[in-house]
Structure 1
Amino acid sequence: MHRPSLFAFSLASKTCHRAATFLIFRKISVMIQDREGLQRDAGRLVEALFRTDSARHVQSITIKGALRLNTKKTDIYNPDTRWLKKSGLAEILDDEELVDSGYRFVVYDEGVIKESSEEDMAWAPFVSLLEATNGLRDLIYDCQSQLPPSLLRALHEKHPLCRLHHLTFRFRTLLWGVPYPYEMELATSPSLYRVRVICTDQDSDGNFDYNMDAVMELAAGLAPNLKEVSIAEIVSQLASSRRSVQKLLWQGLPGFSGEVTGSLTSLSLYYCGTTAMLQNWAKHTDFDKLQHLVIGGGHERRTCGITGETMAWIARNNLFPNLKTLFVNLNRNDDYNEKPHYSENAISFFQAIDSLEELTINGPITPQMIEAVLIHHGPTLKKLSLEPSESMSNTRVRREITMEFTEDRMLQIQALCPVLEKLAITVMRDKSSASETAIYKCFGKMESLRSLFLTLDCANWRAGRDPTYDPRFEGEDQEVACNHSSIIKKGNVREALINSAVDEGLARSIWEMITQNKTGKRLERLKLWTRNGGVFPQAAQIMFLDRFAESMGRSWLIERSPRDDTEEVTVKELKQHAREDYEREHLGQVSPVVEQIFHSIWPRKQGSRDWRDDWSSFPLQG
Structure 2
Amino acid sequence: MDLLPFEVKGLICAFANSYSQDDLSSLGRLNRTWYEVALPLVYDTLKIAFYNREHLLRELAKVSEGPQSRLFKLHTRRLDLVCLDGYRFPAPIKAVSRSGKPSPRLRYTDYAPVASLNTFLGDYLNRVYDEHTQYNRTVFWFYAEKDWEPLVSLISRLGHLTELNYAIKDMFPPALHHAMRQYHPNCRLNIWMHQSFSREIARLGKFRGINSEAEDPFEMETLQSPNLHALSVSHILTKDKFYQDATEQSSHFAETFPFLLAAPNLKHLQFEYSGSSKGDLAKLKAQWEKSAQSVKPIPVASLKSLSFGSMFKAHCPWEDVFMSISNLVDLSRLKSLDISVSRAPSLLRNARSIVPNLERLFINMHLQDRHYDYLEEDDPEMVELIQEFNPLRFLAVRGLRTYSALHRILIHHGDTLKGLIIPSTSDRRKSPDTDIGYKYPALNGQQIIEVTETCPNLKELLLPIKRIGGRPEECNVYRALGKFTQLHTLVLETIYDPRSKPEQHFPWPNDSLVREIFRNAATDVNLVKAMWGLIFSNQPSRLLRNLRVIPIGQAEFAIKGGDNGKFEDGVLRQLGRSFLLTRTPDDSLDAQEIGKFDPKRWQDFLPSLSPHMRPLAFEGAMRLLRSVWPSIEWDDKTFILSGWESFPLQIDPDGEPQTATV
The answer to whether TM tops 0.5 is yes
Residue in structure 1 matched with residue 302 of structure 2 by the alignment: 263
Aligned partner (choices 281, 285, 288) of residue 325 of structure 2: 281
- 2:49 is paired with a residue whose SS is strand
CA contact 1:219–1:264 (8 Å) conserved in 2: no
What is the alpha-carbon distance in structure 2 between the residues aligned to residue 263 and residue 78 of structure 1?
Answer: 40
Assess, with a 3 A threshold, how the Cα gap between structure 1 residues 79 and 190 changes in structure 2: closer, same or farther: farther
Matches within 5 A, 1:280-299: 280-296=324-340
What is the alpha-carbon distance in structure 1 between the residues aligned to residue 228 and residue 632 of structure 2?
Answer: 64
What is the alpha-carbon distance in structure 2 between the residues aligned to residue 568 and residue 159 of structure 1?
Answer: 43
What is the alpha-carbon distance in structure 2 between the residues aligned to residue 595 and residue 39 of structure 1?
Answer: 49
Amino acid at match of 2:362: F
- 2:327 is paired with a residue whose SS is helix
The C-alpha deviation readout for 1:370-393, integer Å capped at 9, x for no partner, is 112222222322221102446376
Residue in structure 2 matched with residue 9 of structure 1 by the alignment: 27
Instruction: Report how many residues are paired.
Output: 546
Residue in structure 2 matched with residue 43 of structure 1 by the alignment: 64
The C-alpha deviation readout for 1:224-273, integer Å capped at 9, x for no partner, is 2222111222459x9xxxx6586743232445558756432211011245
What is the alpha-carbon distance in structure 2 between the residues aligned to residue 37 and residue 535 of structure 1?
Answer: 42
What is the alpha-carbon distance in structure 2 between the residues aligned to residue 363 and residue 334 of structure 1?
Answer: 15
Residue in structure 1 matched with residue 448 of structure 2 by the alignment: 410
Amino acid at match of 1:190: P
What is the alpha-carbon distance in structure 1 between the residues aligned to residue 359 and residue 26 of structure 2?
Answer: 37
Assess, with a 3 A threshold, how the Cα gap between structure 1 residues 591 and 146 changes in structure 2: closer, same or farther: same
Residue in structure 2 matched with residue 617 of structure 1 by the alignment: 646
- What is the TM-score when the length of structure 1 is the normalising length? 0.73
- 1:249 is paired with a residue whose SS is helix
Whether 2:129 is the aligned partner of 1:126: answer no
Assess, with a 3 A threshold, how the Cα gap between structure 1 residues 200 and 98 changes in structure 2: closer, same or farther: farther
Amino acid at match of 1:291: K
Cα offset for 1:434?
Answer: 0.8
Whether 2:422 is the aligned partner of 1:422: answer no
- Stretch deviating more after TM superposition (89-98 or 312-321): 89-98
Residue in structure 1 matched with residue 618 of structure 2 by the alignment: 590
Residue in structure 2 matched with residue 513 of structure 1 by the alignment: 534
Residue in structure 2 matched with residue 226 of structure 1 by the alignment: 266
Residue in structure 2 matched with residue 161 of structure 1 by the alignment: 186
What is the alpha-carbon distance in structure 1 between the residues aligned to residue 433 and residue 175 of structure 2?
Answer: 58
CA contact 1:312–1:348 (8 Å) conserved in 2: no
Cα offset for 1:579?
Answer: 9.0
Assess, with a 3 A threshold, how the Cα gap between structure 1 residues 62 and 598 changes in structure 2: closer, same or farther: closer
What is the alpha-carbon distance in structure 2 between the residues aligned to residue 484 and residue 215 of structure 1?
Answer: 51
What is the alpha-carbon distance in structure 1 between the residues aligned to residue 510 and residue 418 of structure 2?
Answer: 43
The C-alpha deviation readout for 1:74-101, integer Å capped at 9, x for no partner, is x8x99849xxxxxxx999785599999x
Residue in structure 1 matched with residue 523 of structure 2 by the alignment: 502
- What is the TM-score when the length of structure 2 is the normalising length? 0.69
Whether 2:237 is the aligned partner of 1:216: answer no
Residue in structure 2 matched with residue 532 of structure 1 by the alignment: 553
Cα offset for 1:290?
Answer: 1.8
Cα offset for 1:292?
Answer: 0.9
What is the alpha-carbon distance in structure 2 between the residues aligned to residue 198 and residue 78 of structure 1?
Answer: 25
Aligned partner (choices 557, 565, 576) of residue 554 of structure 1: 576
CA contact 2:166–2:193 (8 Å) conserved in 1: yes
Assess, with a 3 A threshold, how the Cα gap between structure 1 residues 588 and 158 changes in structure 2: closer, same or farther: closer
- 1:284 is paired with a residue whose SS is coil
Amino acid at match of 2:334: L
What is the alpha-carbon distance in structure 2 between the residues aligned to residue 310 and residue 377 of structure 1?
Answer: 22
Amino acid at match of 1:269: F
CA contact 2:197–2:234 (8 Å) conserved in 1: no
Cα offset for 1:160?
Answer: 3.1
Residue in structure 2 matched with residue 330 of structure 1 by the alignment: 365
What is the alpha-carbon distance in structure 1 between the residues aligned to residue 182 and residue 31 of structure 2?
Answer: 38
The C-alpha deviation readout for 1:9-41, integer Å capped at 9, x for no partner, is 112111112222332343333335536336524
Aligned partner (choices 152, 157, 165) of residue 140 of structure 1: 165
- Stretch deviating more after TM superposition (318-327 or 251-260): 251-260
Structure 2 spans left out of the alignment, 5+ residues: 1-17, 91-109, 112-122, 133-138, 207-217, 240-250, 651-656, 658-662
Residue in structure 2 matched with residue 376 of structure 1 by the alignment: 412
Residue in structure 2 matched with residue 455 of structure 1 by the alignment: 493
CA contact 1:165–1:195 (8 Å) conserved in 2: yes
Matches within 5 A, 1:341-352: 343-352=379-388
CA contact 1:454–1:529 (8 Å) conserved in 2: yes
What is the alpha-carbon distance in structure 1 between the residues aligned to residue 434 and residue 304 of structure 2?
Answer: 43
Assess, with a 3 A threshold, how the Cα gap between structure 1 residues 163 and 99 changes in structure 2: closer, same or farther: farther
CA contact 2:168–2:193 (8 Å) conserved in 1: yes
CA contact 2:578–2:595 (8 Å) conserved in 1: yes
Whether 2:39 is the aligned partner of 1:21: answer yes
Residue in structure 1 matched with residue 345 of structure 2 by the alignment: 311
CA contact 2:198–2:234 (8 Å) conserved in 1: no
Assess, with a 3 A threshold, how the Cα gap between structure 1 residues 179 and 511 changes in structure 2: closer, same or farther: farther
CA contact 1:493–1:534 (8 Å) conserved in 2: no
What is the alpha-carbon distance in structure 1 between the residues aligned to residue 142 and residue 568 of structure 2?
Answer: 44
Aligned partner (choices 83, 86, 101) of residue 65 of structure 1: 83
The C-alpha deviation readout for 1:32-90, integer Å capped at 9, x for no partner, is 55363365245249x657569x83x5543323238xxxxxxxx8x99849xxxxxxx99
Amino acid at match of 1:616: E
CA contact 1:533–1:550 (8 Å) conserved in 2: no
What is the alpha-carbon distance in structure 2 between the residues aligned to residue 455 and residue 579 of structure 1?
Answer: 25
- 1:186 is paired with a residue whose SS is helix
Cα offset for 1:431?
Answer: 1.3
Structure 1 spans left out of the alignment, 5+ residues: 67-74, 82-88, 114-118, 204-209, 297-305, 466-480
What is the alpha-carbon distance in structure 1 between the residues aligned to residue 130 and residue 176 of structure 2?
Answer: 27
The C-alpha deviation readout for 1:434-466, integer Å capped at 9, x for no partner, is 11111122233323322221111123444579x
CA root-mean-square deviation? 4.6
- 2:355 is paired with a residue whose SS is coil
CA contact 2:223–2:259 (8 Å) conserved in 1: yes
What is the alpha-carbon distance in structure 1 between the residues aligned to residue 540 and residue 229 of structure 2?
Answer: 41
Cα offset for 1:620?
Answer: 0.6
Cα offset for 1:415?
Answer: 2.5
- Stretch deviating more after TM superposition (283-292 or 393-402): 393-402
Cα offset for 1:546?
Answer: 6.5
Amino acid at match of 2:82: K
CA contact 1:449–1:522 (8 Å) conserved in 2: yes
Cα offset for 1:511?
Answer: 2.6
CA contact 2:467–2:498 (8 Å) conserved in 1: no
What is the alpha-carbon distance in structure 2 between the residues aligned to residue 168 and residue 609 of structure 1?
Answer: 39
The C-alpha deviation readout for 1:331-390, integer Å capped at 9, x for no partner, is 244774427995321222111111222211111332232112222222322221102446
CA contact 2:57–2:150 (8 Å) conserved in 1: no
Assess, with a 3 A threshold, how the Cα gap between structure 1 residues 590 and 188 changes in structure 2: closer, same or farther: same
Cα offset for 1:430?
Answer: 0.7
What is the alpha-carbon distance in structure 2 between the residues aligned to residue 97 and residue 598 of structure 1?
Answer: 24
Assess, with a 3 A threshold, how the Cα gap between structure 1 residues 530 and 245 changes in structure 2: closer, same or farther: farther
What is the alpha-carbon distance in structure 2 between the residues aligned to residue 383 and residue 606 of structure 1?
Answer: 41
Residue in structure 2 matched with residue 84 of structure 1 by the alignment: none
What is the alpha-carbon distance in structure 2 between the residues aligned to residue 463 and residue 171 of structure 1?
Answer: 40
- 2:39 is paired with a residue whose SS is helix
The C-alpha deviation readout for 1:473-524, integer Å capped at 9, x for no partner, is xxxxxxxx99769xx5443333333322323332232233333434324433
Amino acid at match of 1:267: L
Cα offset for 1:139?
Answer: 2.2
What is the alpha-carbon distance in structure 2 between the residues aligned to residue 542 and residue 506 of structure 1?
Answer: 29
Amino acid at match of 1:415: E
CA contact 2:515–2:624 (8 Å) conserved in 1: yes
Aligned partner (choices 610, 631, 636) of residue 605 of structure 1: 631
- 1:287 is paired with a residue whose SS is coil
Assess, with a 3 A threshold, how the Cα gap between structure 1 residues 316 and 522 changes in structure 2: closer, same or farther: closer
The C-alpha deviation readout for 1:277-330, integer Å capped at 9, x for no partner, is 33333333333332111113xxxxxxxxx25x5334312554433211111123
